[in-house]
Structure 1
Amino acid sequence: MTAALAVAAGIVGLAIGSFLNVVVWRVPRGESVVSPPSACPRCGHAIRRRDNVPVLSWLVLRGRCRDCGEPISVRYPLVELATGVLFALTAWWAGPVWVLPALLYLAAISVALALIDLDTSRLPDAIVLPSYPVALVLLALGSANPGGEADWWALVRAVIGGVAMFTAYLVTVLVKPGGMGLGDVKLAGVLGLYLGWFGWGALAVGWFAAFVFGGVFSIALMAMRRAGRTSRIPFGPWMLLGAAFGIVVGPALSSWYLGSL
């Protein structure tokens, strides 16, 4: 059953990835993600439905517009494929549980926010702020666990985690302006909700892991002379990666660490 669920989630992820390409391009520009329909930027022809099949259409068209031959960036099928794989892995790891929709939503916004932050050094409110109510509703569904035993303490813990991470990041920005942006502060609250829901161990590990991953990446860039000590590096992708790490291995890692003391 888990394998079938992973395959189904992967197929859905491919379609979501196609939509995320639109989100990543339009949201930073303040454009609607609904209209107008996607079109070739060179000739203006709307993308036909048969040319909008994730990954496959790009391969069939050999990476070019059907009408004018304009090259289509390989990033588009890569985003679709990556989202599909991420959805499949998420479903395989979580299994058929009620918190799965919350995790898939986190996976989707993670792809969009990471790419936008890398492109523009911004984490748009249009994605981050609606994620608060969406995450709370979906995590509440996970806590309700229809057909099984409810765990409302997990939802309370999620709210505590969200408030704690938001407050800590906000204090950091106020004490050391320029160290990170307000977008990071807002995203911290969302990630705190997820990490708190999965436990104090997940919260601690996911919180700390973001700084470890970001620090290692920064050191690597400086070693390659691609950045200096004062260079500003987007932190959103590392926050998202840290949260994923905390959710997956945080509870076990924290239990091992406490047990070894």
Structure 2
Amino acid sequence: MGLYGLIFGSFFGVVGTRVPRGESIVTPPSHCLTCGHKLTPFELIPVLSWFLQKGRCRRCGTHVSIFYPIVEVMTGILFCITWMQMGLVPEFFISIFASSVFIVLSIIDYESYRLPNIIVMPSTLALLLARFFIHPLGFFSYISGALIGFLLIYAIIIFSKGGMGFGDAKLFLFVGFYVGFSQTIFTLVLASLLGALMGVLFMIMGRLQKRAVIPFGPFIGLSAIVVHLYGTPFITWYMKLIILH
């Protein structure tokens, strides 16, 4: 499963970097962005090629960002964790699909501060259709999760006067269909916490100015994945804690 993740991660890197530039994800084939050198199969081996070439183009010597092998490794690890946590049940394929979408959107949001409709909307529709057949929490939970997620973010956008983007609201439609009602709310809380902590950390490190924009998509995606894999036990524990007090 990890090998599949590495291969898909390589593809996600291509999609995530080409879509913001308005380029096709099919043509031209993978190439050096500096000299146009068409990459050979040897140069397209996930992770390994980057290290064998010492992070440089074989023709012109231009530095190739370590961003690509990082995405490949993280995707491989995520696929393995999902398989170990869930097994090959129907929900596993939902999780892999959603995680793949989050990875691509996180790359795009990080590079361009955009969550393009061309990916968000078809993915949301596909997930909605899948939920007609695979709905372990009950179909209504996913519908209500999508609605509450969208409305909460939309309300934040209105009251914060642009503190968040409308793309985040649309992404929460996808999140709701992915994790269901209660876990959608938990995803928003966790994503907000992670985003705030990262913002404070960057400010301490001097890498972020006050009022600077931080892409929220990666935090939404990470939080949704974590909540989907581990959220149910935590929510159960938290509800019991509230009842006991």
TM-score by length of 2: 0.90
Aligned: 1:187 with 2:168: no
Distance 1:125 1:47 in 2: 30
Q: Please tell me whether residue 167 in structure 1 is matched to residue 151 in structure 2.
A: yes
**Corresponding residue number in structure 1 for 2:19:** 27
Question: In structure 2, do the counterparts of structure 1 residues 231 and 71 end up closer, same or farther at CA, with 3 Å as the change threshold?
Answer: closer
Matched, 1:51 2:43: yes
Partner of 2:201: 220
Moved more, 239-248 or 74-83: 239-248
- Match of residue 17 from structure 1: 9
After TM superposition, list the pairs within 5 Å mapping 1:38-117 onto structure 2: 38-117=30-109
Would the aligned equivalents of 1:98 and 1:141 in 2 still touch at CA under 8 Å? no
**Residue 99 of structure 1 contacts residue 141 of structure 1 at CA under 8 Å; is this kept in 2?**
no
3-state secondary structure, aligned to 2:134? helix
Identify the range of structure 1 (24-33 vs 45-54) with the bigger mean alpha-carbon deviation. 45-54
Give unpaired runs (5+ residues) of structure 2. none
| Selected match of 1:245 from 219, 226, 230 | 226
- Give 1:130's aligned amino acid: P
- The share of aligned pairs that are identical, in percent, is 35
Give the direction of change, closer, same or farther, for the CA distance of 1:67–1:186 in structure 2 (3 Å limit).
same
Cα offset, 1:176, TM superposition: 2.4
Moved over 4 A (4+): none
| Mapping 1:146-161, distance limit 5 Å | 151=136, 154-161=138-145
Gaps spanning 5+ residues in structure 1: where? 1-8, 144-150
Q: CA deviation at 1:189?
A: 0.9
Within a 5 Å distance, the mapping from 1:204-215 to structure 2 comes to 204-215=185-196
Length-normalised TM-score, structure 1: 0.85
Matched, 1:119 2:129: no
The structure-2 alpha-carbon separation of the partners of 1:206 and 1:65, relative to structure 1 and needing over 3 Å to count, comes to same
Q: Is the 8 A contact 1:99 1:138 kept in 2?
A: no
Aligned mate of 2:126, from 119, 131, 134: 134
* CA distance in 2: counterparts of 1:232 and 1:65, whole angstroms: 32
Q: How many residue pairs were aligned? A: 242
Aligned partner of residue 99 in structure 1, secondary structure: helix
Deviation at 1:221, TM superposition (A): 2.7
- For 1:15-49, what per-residue CA distance to the aligned partner results, in whole angstroms no more than 9, with x for missing partners? 11111111111101111111111112233221112
**In structure 1, the residue corresponding to 2:90 is in which secondary structure?**
coil
- Specify the SS of the correspondent of 1:115: helix
Q: For residue 184 of structure 1, report the CA deviation from its aligned partner.
A: 0.6
CA distance in 2: counterparts of 1:44 and 1:231, whole angstroms: 34
Q: Report the Cα distance in structure 2 between the residues aligned to 1:64 and 1:219, rounded to whole angstroms.
A: 34
- How far the C-alpha of 1:61 sits from its partner, in A, is 2.5
